[in-house]
């Protein structure tokens, strides 16, 4: 993967809230009575305060993203609790004047909820009223298959270019409902947005690189969220990670050198050799790449050429940093040291010396930008993590909610 903090739409607002449904009075008639705790139950007409509930009492097939609203007239609410059995209570917020309570989370599908409201009238008398409703049943559920960054694949300290990438186990058609429940929080506020590559992949990036040393939290509040007709989220997922120092590597296929800058200061210059060209596949792509993996050993084979065919090769390479899905790496190449700094002789990778490659793999974080210029072949936004190849307007085109500032952490 990688909100203040953007909500998952970008931080896109309170999870799962829709417009308020019409309030319906659900207080019982008849005389007041005292329960063992001394709280009056029922008899709204016999006292100054009355309570209204939405959804109305005994409502069925209630959408999971419809908020629960409790309002009191002629008094103030002391407490509201919405219990859903094994799913636990539904959280909510009480208005400043105590007149209205509203849930701020998504209910679970196929669940019976009991709403218990305790109010106090102008005379100080407490009353308790209850209402029940049942949410729509789910025909199927969907889940997060992978979320990146993560501890195993990237580590939890990543580079300033790191996107947050979520893959779902089933196609999502209600993108708005899902995106508004993807919350991004950050210790330093950024403008950012989610971007749908297809129905099973949605990624988030800031408008500009992450500020160095920012803490980030992703809250995928998807339990009960509608993902399509009859399909609802299975669970909530939270991931915390940190942005490391600001390191950017730039190289030119014309000048044959890689320059590494950390927090704005040049820390290393490395002679390089890029793709030799001739065939399109043998050009190194120009653009903003990200470090996708660090591999001590990589076995490379010729693209599109099988054993026995002219030009076929299979080569074991050491200290490699992957920068695209089309087979491009920055790696150790002792066989081309004589050309490094002078000529392009590779099949598309960026060749550097063994000493420089050992240093580079050790000093690179996953998500560090590695920017290559000079080649006629451009990096496609979908070739690996080419997220920064799209400008902000292009990125927002595939966002359902169009972005905004991250929430605070």
Catalytic residues: 331, 349
What one-character-per-residue DSSP string does 192-260 give? EEEEEEETTEEEEEESSPPPTT-EEEEEEE-TT-EEETTEEE--EEEEEEEE---EEEEEETTTTEEEE
Sign of CA dihedral 167, 170, 173, 178: negative
Report how far residue 230's alpha carbon sits from residue 270's, in angstroms, rounded to the nearest whole number: 56
**H or E element that contains 120:** strand 112-121
List own/partner pairs for 31-39 with CB under 8 A and 24 or more apart: 32/127, 35/128, 38/126, 39/118, 39/126, 39/127, 39/128
Is residue 125 helix, strand or coil?
coil
Report how far residue 26's alpha carbon sits from residue 55's, in angstroms, rounded to the nearest whole number: 10
- φ, ψ dihedrals at 360, nearest 5°: -65, -45
Q: Which residues pair with 329 in a beta bridge?
A: 322
The strand order across the sheet containing 164-168 reads 144-148, 164-168, 201-206, 191-198, 404-405
**How far is C-alpha 337 from the chain's CA centre?**
42
Cβ–Cβ under 8 Å, residues 13 and 19: no
Is residue 281 helix, strand or coil?
helix
User: Between the CA of residue 190 and those of 49, 187, 260, 292, 315, what are the distances in Å?
Assistant: 45, 9, 25, 23, 43
Cβ–Cβ under 8 Å, residues 39 and 55: no
């Amino acid at each position: 993967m990688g909100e203040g903090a953007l909500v998952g739409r970008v931080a896109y607002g309170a999870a799962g809230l829709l417009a308020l449904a019409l309030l319906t009075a659900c207080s019982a008639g008849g005389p007041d009575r005292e329960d063992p705790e001394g709280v009056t139950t029922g008899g709204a007409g016999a006292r100054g305060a009355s309570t209204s509930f939405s959804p109305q009492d005994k409502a069925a097939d209630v959408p999971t993203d419809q908020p629960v609203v409790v309002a009191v007239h002629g008094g103030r609410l002391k407490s509201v609790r919405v219990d859903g059995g094994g799913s636990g209570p539904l959280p909510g917020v009480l208005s400043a004047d105590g007149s209205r309570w509203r849930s701020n989370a998504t209910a679970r599908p196929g669940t019976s909820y009991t709403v218990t409201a305790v109010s106090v009238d102008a005379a100080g008398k407490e009353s308790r009223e209850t209402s029940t409703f049942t949410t729509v049943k789910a025909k199927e559920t969907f889940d997060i298959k992978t979320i990146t960054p993560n501890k195993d694949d990237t580590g939890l300290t990543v580079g300033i270019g790191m996107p947050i990438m979520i893959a779902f186990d089933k196609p999502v058609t209600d993108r708005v409902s899902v995106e508004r429940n993807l919350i991004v929080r950050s210790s330093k506020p950024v403008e950012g947005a989610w971007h749908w590559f297809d129905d099973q992949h949605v990624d988030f990036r800031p408008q500009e690189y992450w500020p160095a040393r920012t803490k980030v939290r992703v809250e995928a509040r998807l339990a009960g969220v509608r993902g399509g007709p009859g399909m609802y989220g299975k669970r909530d997922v939270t991931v915390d990670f940190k942005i490391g120092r600001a390191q950017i590597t730039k190289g030119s296929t014309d000048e044959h050198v890689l320059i590494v800058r950390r927090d704005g200061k040049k820390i290393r210059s490395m002679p390089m050799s890029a793709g030799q060209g001739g065939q399109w596949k043998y050009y190194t792509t120009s653009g903003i790449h990200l470090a996708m993996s660090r591999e001590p050993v990589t076995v490379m084979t010729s693209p599109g050429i099988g054993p026995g065919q002219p030009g076929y090769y299979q080569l074991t390479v050491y200290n490699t940093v992957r920068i695209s899905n089309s087979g491009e790496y920055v790696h150790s190449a002792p066989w081309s040291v004589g050309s490094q700094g002078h000529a392009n002789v590779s099949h598309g990778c960026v060749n550097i010396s063994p000493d420089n490659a050992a240093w580079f793999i050790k000093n690179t974080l996953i998500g560090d930008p590695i920017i290559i210029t000079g080649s006629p072949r451009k990096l496609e936004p979908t070739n690996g993590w080419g997220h920064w190849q799209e400008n902000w307007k292009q990125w927002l085109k595939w966002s359902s909610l169009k972005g905004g500032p991250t929430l605070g952490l």
